[in-house]
């Protein structure tokens, strides 16, 4: 597989609405769950929180010179029998997903690496934690009423928090341990020193490789940074992205303001943040992935 391809691995519960069958699993066990899925395998599943994002990502191939630049693979705790309903639904919605791993109840994160995926999306927090610990970008897709069909807007809009997501949590640890004044002083002193990369740096770089094929106004992907930082702590962020030679299209320095309305204004297809409080606010407005990484997630 092309190492430069943008590849996203996704679980069935992030792609489709499987809450009803998941309740069967939790209340009656695995055997009842298997019977339920087989009995309903001809019934199409409703779209899940990340469905619109996946649909948009797959559409990118239609507008690229190399039509094999983006791939979505399914990695699921289902087995082949119960996974048949998922693939039937994939075919129903005409999603060009052809590769999959069904692990029969085992954590599927270990297949992220051989699929060369830069991102893993799942509804299972433990699977996400396992993937992050193994060095992969991963997020828990949270329930959200904001998940909608992409409609006519073809541009993929992806938003990120900064510290502990795009960047390491080094600066955030200073803030947590010593307070805002020490954090600000530390960031001013280190303004010319690029921040170490966080778990989503390589995913942002993969998005940038596609963006670089286009002028900024014509790119089919638009990225944004929404951070609680404010001036003067913003300078180190700007210089870090410059040192990485990675473009970020929009940067919003909120100084502690709630992120939800800003994300809605941006029109994010998904937002990634390490702090659950920010995620709970954001998911009322846009599809949201919690990144259980760093000092905010002991």
Give me the sign of the Cα torsion angle 74, 77, 83, 86: negative
Residues 240 and 198: their CA atoms lie apart, in Å, by 12
Backbone phi, psi, residue 127, to 5°: -60, -40
Q: Which helix (H) or strand (E) holds 91?
A: helix 80-92
Closest Cα to residue 129, out of 107, 113, 144, 111?
A: 107
What stretches of 129-283 adopt beta strand conformation (E)? 138-141, 156-160, 221-227, 250-253, 270-273
Active site residue 161: yes
Cis peptide upstream of residue 63 (ω within 30 degrees of 0)? no
3-state secondary structure of 151: coil
Q: What is the DSSP letter of 289?
A: E
Q: Which residues contact 116 (CB under 8 A, 6 or more apart)?
A: 1, 2, 3, 5, 7
What stretches of 146-269 adopt beta strand conformation (E)? 156-160, 221-227, 250-253
Q: What is the DSSP letter of 105?
A: T
Considering the candidates 31, 94, 161, 280, report the single residue annotated as catalytic. 161
Q: Which helix (H) or strand (E) holds 71?
A: strand 70-76
Active-site residue set: 161
């Amino acid at each position: 597989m092309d190492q430069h391809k943008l590849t996203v691995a996704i679980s069935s519960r992030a792609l489709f609405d499987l809450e009803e069958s998941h309740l069967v699993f939790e209340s009656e066990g695995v055997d009842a769950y298997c019977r339920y899925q087989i009995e309903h395998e001809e019934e199409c599943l409703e779209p899940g929180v990340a469905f619109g994002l996946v649909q948009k990502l797959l559409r990118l191939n239609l507008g690229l010179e190399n039509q094999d630049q983006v791939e979505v693979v399914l990695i699921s705790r289902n087995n082949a029998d119960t996974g048949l309903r998922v693939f039937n639904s994939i075919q129903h919605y005409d999603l060009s997903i052809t590769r999959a791993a069904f692990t029969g109840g085992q954590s599927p994160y270990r297949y992220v690496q051989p699929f060369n995926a830069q991102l893993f999306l799942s509804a299972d927090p433990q699977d996400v934690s396992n993937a992050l610990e193994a060095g992969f970008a991963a997020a828990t897709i949270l329930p959200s009423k904001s998940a909608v069909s992409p409609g006519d807007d073809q541009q993929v809009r992806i938003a990120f928090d900064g510290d502990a997501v795009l960047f390491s949590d080094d600066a955030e640890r200073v803030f947590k341990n010593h307070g805002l004044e020490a954090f600000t002083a530390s960031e001013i002193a280190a303004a010319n020193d690029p921040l170490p990369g966080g778990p989503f740096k390589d995913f942002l770089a993969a998005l940038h490789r596609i963006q670089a094929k286009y002028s900024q106004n014509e790119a089919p992907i638009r990225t944004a940074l929404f951070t609680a930082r404010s001036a003067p702590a913003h300078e180190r962020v700007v210089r870090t992205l410059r040192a990485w030679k990675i473009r970020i299209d929009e940067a919003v320095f909120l100084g502690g303001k709630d992120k939800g309305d800003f994300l809605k204004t941006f029109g994010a297809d998904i937002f990634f943040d390490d702090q659950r409080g920010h995620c709970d606010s954001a998911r009322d407005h846009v599809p949201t992935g919690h990144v259980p990484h760093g000092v905010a997630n002991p």
